[in-house]
Amino acid sequence: MKIYLYTDGASIGNPGAAGIAYLLKDEQGNIIRQGREPIGTATNNQAEYRALLRGLELARQAGADVVEWFSDSELLVRQWTGAYQVKSPQLHSLMQQARALASGITVVPHAVPRNSLPEMRQVDSWARRVAKGHLKPHRTAPRTHP
């Protein structure tokens, strides 16, 4: 099953109060999971990685074998593809966790400009607003299959 994953992380202060948001759609464009969560104090890059981790975790639970992943973090996408090295020990650890979650899944990353897609506008807004405390955390329950 192919999943479309949209992720964003935000940090107010960098480091500062941080939030993540994610949106997962199936091939028909139906939302199968979505959420936003505060993650405490983090840098923007750490928040971006944490959003990816949550998205990969949910994609795996949904039975994805292919994930088309969209992020406005060019750094994160280029680190994922190997174009950039991961020099920060904290980010290296998060990358290792993401690679482990993606084991057995084909991840096709896309670096897209901020707010260039409706889904990216949504996750950007959620991540920023939940980081600021202006939006309550929310996670959809996993869909059950009959």
| Structure confidence by residue, pLDDT tens digits, 132-146 | 999 889 887 655 443
Note if the pTM is more than 0.85: yes
For residues 36-73, b (16+ Cβ closer than 10 Å) or e, as one string? bbbbeebbbbbbbbbbbbbbbebbbebebeebbbbbbb
CATH of 2-135, picked from 3.30.420.10, 1.10.3720.10, 3.30.2350.10, 3.40.50.1980, is: 3.30.420.10
- Measured torsion, CA atoms of residues 97, 98, 102, 106, in degrees rounded to the nearest 10: -150
**3-class SS of residue 53:** helix
Question: Looking at residues 21-31, what average pLDDT do you find?
Answer: 97
Q: Give the integer Cα–Cα distance in Å for 98 and 130.
A: 23
pLDDT at 145: 45
**Domain regions of the chain by residue span:** 2-135
